[in-house]
Structures are given as structure tokens and as C-alpha cells.
Amino acid sequence: MKAKFGLIFIALGLALLLGSLGLFLYNEKLQNDAAKASEELMPQIVDAIKIRQEETEEPEIVAPDEKKMTVIEIDGSDYLGFVGIPAIGIELPVMADWDYEKLKTAPCRYSGSVYTEDLVIMAHNYKKHFGRLSQLVNGDQITFTDMDGKTYRYKVASVEMLPEYAVEEMTSGDFEFTLFTCTYTGESRVAVRCDRISE
């Protein structure tokens, strides 16, 4: 009888081990696919910005709270521009709005705008997306380049840990730019709050 239970426990242990390995391999595939997609998109984003700059005439003067960020469609998805974080060696396209499927490709706007100085960008914690946000320190510089080719420069003011469903906290405060991702356990969020650097 003991031998029978022993075999059952061994079989269960092996099943759990195989399940864990399968989940790990699946997550690695998602990360690699996302890194490849972002890498392939970056030249297209840069080209789209150049074309936009060549075609655009003198911009119309509009109040900041009424001005809309330029969105350009590439391969069926809408993009706002790209974010650069030299301290962790990433430069990534940013989609104009978010859903869980889009996050598998690139970071996405969660809310706000550069014009109203409350832009919030989210991404998965993939290694080549926002997986190393928690390594940033106060004073690190971040850039966001919009689809009109204008680059906005920011410096990290704080790195916070927020509860998983802290939606109001994520979008509140006096910070002009926020990046966030979930932790590896998914139980909390890493939020990088930034102030704009005067030109």
C-alpha cells in the first residue's frame, strides 16, 4: 500500500514539474516574441515619424488640454511614438491605447497625454520591455518621442510599489510622466514617476 502511495506522489510530482516547465517555456516564448516584435517595429516608427515631419505643415495653435497626440497606424495598430530608457538599455514603440493582446507586442498608453502632462505608459514585465523598471533610480533620464518627432525629456523622481488594483493611485499625483508594470508575482505594481526636464 505504501509503495502504491509512493508511486502516486512521484507521478504527481513529475506532473507538477512538467507543468512548471511548460509554463516557464510558454512565458519565455511570450517574452521572446514581444522583444522581436518591438525590435522590428522601431525602424518603422522612426520612418513614420520622418515621413510625418516631411508632410506636416505649420502646426495649428490649440490649447494643451484640447490638443490630441498624433497617432499613426502601422501594421494595423495605432502608435503614439517611442520611449527610451538608457539606464536599462531599452527603446520601445508605444501603442496609442491598451488591451492585453497589445501588451504582448509593445508598451501601451494607459492614460493621459504629453500635452496635459499626465502621460502614463504600461508594459508587461518582460525582460526587454519593463521588466527592469525597479532598477531605475532618482535622476535617471527617460525620453518619449511622439509621432510628430518631438522628444520630451524626463528624469525619475521616484520608484514606487503600488497594490495590484491601485488604479486611482496610478493616475493621480503631480507627476508629468509615469511608467508602470506588474511585479513577477503579479501582486503589486512598480511605478516610475517622472518630472519633465525643462528645455
Q: Residue 6's pLDDT is what? A: 64
Q: Residue 11's pLDDT is what? A: 66
User: Domains in the chain, ordered, with CATH?
Assistant: 40-196 (2.40.260.10)
Cα(98)–Cα(112) distance, integer angstroms = 12
**Closest-CA residue to 120 (of 161, 168, 87):** 168
Cα(154)–Cα(134) distance, integer angstroms = 17
Q: Residue 176's pLDDT is what? A: 94
Q: Residue 60's pLDDT is what? A: 62
Q: What is the mean pLDDT of each run of 10 residues along the chain (199 residues)?
A: 64 66 66 80 89 75 73 94 96 94 93 93 91 94 96 95 77 86 83 90
Q: Residue 88's pLDDT is what? A: 95
Cα(11)–Cα(17) distance, integer angstroms = 10
Q: Residue 74's pLDDT is what? A: 94
**Model-level pTM?**
0.81
- Extract the C-alpha cell encoding 57: 505643415
